[in-house]
């Protein structure tokens, strides 16, 4: 790219600008909690089941409930059909999403139980793991489960020498082709503005890392507003999120 600067985004967005977002809860009436989160062409649906008694019994925890997360992409979510069933990538994303959500969900009042979160991606244009976490956090709140605060997630990174927020599929391909590029999914808490999860693939200087985390923090604040508005559209009596507001 000439002088190694990514000067203009294909989508015409600013370098710190998130794709257009929409969110809604209660999209699966038969579930205990559900939500959809869309950013650009990426769509994520999350469904919550539970708390319910965990079987087999030897897996139960007498002190707290257990959170399980299952992430998957639908076969036709991308142009090239995905092979159905779990794979290494989906298992890794399931586990990191579980870690991030477990940091804010309080299941101490539900010993010996399990809460299952199912995340499905019907349409993918990069950023599926963070979109899935955003949807799952909303679905857990919609289910009425006690949460210390909300979490919001965004992908940030570096294309050559330029720091960017919310990469789409085209930019993601540049990341994979670019020798000096970096991909960083970030999950932030709403009240404490703390990092609940951060993954880093690539190389980045310490000063660039500090700058891109600040970019992620601002973007997560914008995402939180979208999540909060969607949750406020349903009965507030059902919600037990103690952190995060529209401000």
Confidence of residue 235 (pLDDT cuts 50, 70, 90): low
**Does residue 20 register a pLDDT over 70?**
yes
Q: For 134-192, what is each residue's pLDDT tens digit?
A: 999 999 999 999 999 999 999 998 887 889 999 887 776 665 555 556 789 999 998 76
Q: Which segment, 20-29, 77-86, 151-160, is predicted with the most confidence on average?
A: 20-29
Residue 240 backbone dihedrals phi, psi, to 5 degrees: -130, 35
Confidence grade of residue 2 (pLDDT, cut at 50, 70, 90):
very low
pLDDT of residue 245: 46
Please determine, looking at this structure, whether the domain spanning 21-235 carries the CATH number 3.40.50.1370: no
Q: What percent of the chain has pLDDT over 70?
A: 83
Collapsing DSSP to helix, strand or coil, 232 comes out as helix
Structure-token pair, residue 67: 């959170």
- Whole-model pTM: value is 0.87
Domain ranges of the chain: 21-235
Nearest-angstrom CA–CA distance, 131 and 18: 12
Q: For position 57, what pLDDT does the model report?
A: 85
What pLDDT score was predicted for residue 242?
46
Question: Considering the chain, what is the average pLDDT of its residues?
Answer: 85
pLDDT for position 198? 92
Q: What is the mean pLDDT of residues 43-49?
A: 97
């Amino acid at each position: 790219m000439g002088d190694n600067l990514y000067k203009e985004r294909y989508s015409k967005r600013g370098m710190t600008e998130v794709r257009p977002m929409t969110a809604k809860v209660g999209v699966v009436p038969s579930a205990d909690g559900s939500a959809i989160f869309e950013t650009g062409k990426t769509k994520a649906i999350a469904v919550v089941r539970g708390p319910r008694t965990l079987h087999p019994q030897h897996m139960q925890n007498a002190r707290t409930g257990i959170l399980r997360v299952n992430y998957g992409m639908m076969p036709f979510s991308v142009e090239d059909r995905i092979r159905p069933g779990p794979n290494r990538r989906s298992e890794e994303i399931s586990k990191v999403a579980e870690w991030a959500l477990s940091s804010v969900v309080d299941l101490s009042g539900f010993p010996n139980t399990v809460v299952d979160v199912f995340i499905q991606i019907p349409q993918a244009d990069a950023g599926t793991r963070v979109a899935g976490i955003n949807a799952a956090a909303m679905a857990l709140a919609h289910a009425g489960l006690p949460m210390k605060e909300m979490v919001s997630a965004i992908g940030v990174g570096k294309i050559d020498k330029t720091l960017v927020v919310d990469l789409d599929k085209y930019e993601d391909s540049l990341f994979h082709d670019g020798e000096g590029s970096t991909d960083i999914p970030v999950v932030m808490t709403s009240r404490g503005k703390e990092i609940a999860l951060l993954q880093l693939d690539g190389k980045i200087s310490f000063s660039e890392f500090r700058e891109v985390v600040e970019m992620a923090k601002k973007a997560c604040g914008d995402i939180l507003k979208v999540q909060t508005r969607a949750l406020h559209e349903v009965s507030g009596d059902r919600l037990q999120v103690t952190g995060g507001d529209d401000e």
